[in-house]
Structure 1
Amino acid sequence: MRPDDWHLTEDLDGFLARAGDFLRSRPALHTMPLTVTERLRTRRQDAHGAEAPVFGRLEQEGEVRATFYRKPSGLLSLTPLAPEHADTLAARLANLGYSLPGVSADHDTATAFAEAWRRHTGAAPTLREQRLRLYRLGTLTPSDPLPEGRGRVVSEQDREQLILWCREFATDVGEVVSINADSWANTRFADKRFSFWETPDGTPVSMAGVTSMVAGQIRVDPVYTPAHLRGRGYAGAVTVEVSRAALAAGATEVVLFADLANPTSNGLYQRIGYVPVTDFAVYDFS
């Protein structure tokens, strides 16, 4: 392979050995590849074979400039790319015979790659209506007053409630996934730490989860309040609770995604101290 080129591999350890410093250089912007690769590493999943994830890095003058990953049959997930580098990647993947269902990245990168993929394969890209904004925590500013109650860490005794709410959250955001006691361990929620906000009588009314800390960053995900309990400040209270805990644990970056179609959540996160980083988009390919 040429030194200045895209390098593809199924070797997770090898990929991280070469691209880890690049990913850690911008932990907020790179929250997804950091947490996905950490999950794969800690779960000791086999990164080799026909169904292994594929990882890629763009090297120029001996430095990693961009990366991607793709889980089996999943979307291509990219760090920010210039249009010409999106084009060389699309050409490379097309020549290797890859079939991609779509791409996820910051808006400009996703758009550049979608157009490049159309040119090289003829696949028509369709922009999903849902667009996400990445936020990072500036100065945490709790709502005043907070709703009555308190935050507490979810325990094993809360497992049934937690699984129910994660299933409801997934339905709300359009994720096609089975979440029950049997499938829980294989879901993206299983390795997160959760907290509830509960009323003074001990009734849980909202939840928030956080990822493990990687490269000093923790991502808040998901935040969920049942529909009949919304509008009472519970989501803000539990988000403050887990954000404060992340800072206390030593996180230098606390981030989260919000659906741009939901002005309530975007306004809430900004009021408690989160500031926009960039917008993300997903294109599906025909």
Structure 2
Amino acid sequence: MQRGTTKGITVARTTAGRDFQQVSAPRVAAAPVIHSVVATTLAHALESPADYPDARWYWAKRDGRVTALAMHTPPRPFHVATVDTHVARAFARRVLTDGLQVERIGGLVTGALAFAETLAFETGGHIRVVRREGMHDLPRPPRHPEGVPGELRPARESDIPLLDAWARAYLDETGTEAPPRFPLQQWVARGDMQVWEAAGGAVSMAHASRPHGGVSRISWVYTPPEERGQGYAATTVAAVSARQRRAGHRCLLYTDLDSPASNRLYQRVGYRRVGDSCVLSLTRVR
């Protein structure tokens, strides 16, 4: 574990996921929505550490209290889970001190931009927006589309080859950075991956993360092109979200703000936009 201090803000880093879990747990519990990405990534890293050999976990303290979290889990972007620009800049200065090469930054817009600007100023780099995302929650029971045939069911082991192909297509279409490995077998075994079945076959999928701080993140929503336009994605998200709410969890999902169709889809189900995040690229020139 290593520490550094910037203007009253102490930044610490560790490569030990269990240590980070202990340090970060109170912060995640206090603000589970903005820390959903950190919490779900950490859970996967603890479960499959070989998938995250170069993971670095960061936290910032002010007046002896943990106030913000960040992480770097290559090949994913450096993730900044704060809107506090002073803390974001402190994270960036720590990265510079460590000599860490960061090419992409993700997280809440204000914090991610402050982090990227600090790196760019020190390195003479250029910042480019790769993706703009909206963060949405579900404040009330979802609205289910009418007249959509089929039913929701847990994915089975026999579905894994199909879901793997769909997951790769999802990454290609959305430009999302691939995880080190698709843990489909674990997701299926736990019942985290659900599919909508119609006419005897799976036509859409969605994943619901295990809850952290009471928040379950809905992701990996995908319908193959030949099945689109029939309401399968909306009804899958509605059904998966209803399932999580019945279990007492709050639902959260991210959308690509440059995809109006997907944003309208989630709004029809009942999701509301509660924040913005982004992915930025940084090109260094020195």
Q: TM-score, normalised by structure 2?
A: 0.88
Counterpart for residue 155 of structure 2: 154
Q: What is the rounded CA distance, in whole Å, between the counterparts of 1:216 and 1:176 in structure 2? A: 26
How is 1:120-269 mapped onto 2 (pairs within 5 angstroms)? 120-128=122-130, 130-175=131-176, 177=178, 186-187=181-182, 189-192=184-187, 193-199=192-198, 201-251=199-249, 253-269=250-266
Are 1:96 and 2:98 an aligned pair?
yes
Distance 1:169-1:144 versus aligned 2 partners, 3 A rule: closer
Asked if structure 2 preserves the Cα contact closer than 8 Å seen for 1:136 and 1:254, the reply is yes
d(CA) in 1 for partners of 2:55, 2:271: 32
1:15 equivalent in alignment to 2:20: yes
**SS of residue in 1 equivalent to 2:79:** strand
CA distance in 1, matches of 2:263, 2:51: 38
Question: C-alpha distance in 2, partners of 1:198/1:113?
Answer: 44
Work out whether residues 140 and 274 of structure 1, in 8 Å CA contact, stay in contact via their aligned partners in 2.
no
CA distance, structure 2, for counterparts of residue 267 and residue 138 of structure 1? 16
Distance 1:173 1:23, change over 3 A: same
For 1:74 and 1:198, locate their aligned partners in 2 and report how far apart those are by CA, in whole Å: 32
User: 165-174 or 141-150, which moves further after superposition?
Assistant: 141-150
Task: Provide the C-alpha distance between the structure 1 equivalents of 2:221 and 2:21, rounded to a whole number of angstroms.
Answer: 29
Q: CA deviation at 1:188?
A: 5.3
- State the shift of 1:96 in Å: 2.2
Q: Distance in 2 between matches of 1:76 and 1:114?
A: 10
Q: Report if aligned partners of 2:28, 2:39 keep a CA contact under 8 Å in 1.
A: yes
1:5, distance to aligned residue in structure 2 (A): 0.7
Residue 112 of structure 1, aligned match among 111, 114, 128: 114
Partners of 1:189 and 1:133 in 2: CA distance: 25
Alpha-carbon distance in 2 for matches of 1:75, 1:40: 15
Distance 1:177 1:18, change over 3 A: closer
Distance change >3 Å, CA 176–CA 80, structure 1 → 2: closer
Tell me the secondary structure at the aligned position of residue 131 of structure 1: strand
Do the aligned partners of 1:123 and 1:285 also contact (CA within 8 Å) in 2?
A: yes
- Cα pair 2:164 2:184 within 8 Å, conserved: no
Q: 1:161 Cα deviation (Å)?
A: 1.7
Report the Cα offset of residue 214 of structure 1: 2.1
Deviation at 1:92, TM superposition (A): 2.3
Shift in alpha-carbon separation, 1:169–1:212, aligned structure 2, 3 A: same
CA drift at 1:74: 3.8
Residues 208, 223 of structure 1: 8 Å contact kept: yes
Structure 2: give runs of 5+ residues left out of the alignment: none
**In structure 1, how many angstroms separate the alpha carbons of the residues matched to 2:58 and 2:65?**
13
The CA distance in 2 between the partners of 1:141 and 1:13, in whole Å, is 36
Match of 2:37 among 32, 38, 53: 32
Out of 244, 268, 271, the position equivalent to 1:274 is 271
Q: What SS is found at the alignment partner of 2:99?
A: coil
> Residues 189 and 257 of structure 1: is their aligned pair in 2 closer, same or farther, counting only changes over 3 Å?
farther
CA distance in 1, matches of 2:186, 2:248: 19
Partner of 2:64: 62
Q: Deviations over 1:116-136 (max 9, x none)?
A: 1111222222111x2111111
Cα distance in 1, alignment partners of residues 185 and 259 from structure 2: 26
Question: Residue 75 of structure 2 contacts residue 177 of structure 2 at CA under 8 Å; is this kept in 1?
Answer: no
Once residues 12 and 227 of structure 2 are traced to their aligned partners in structure 1, the CA distance between those partners, rounded to angstroms, is 49
Please tell me whether the aligned partners of residues 74 and 100 of structure 1 are also in contact (alpha carbons under 8 angstroms). no
Percent of aligned pairs with the same amino acid: 25
Q: Offset of 1:177 from its aligned partner?
A: 4.8
- Matched residue SS, 1:162: helix
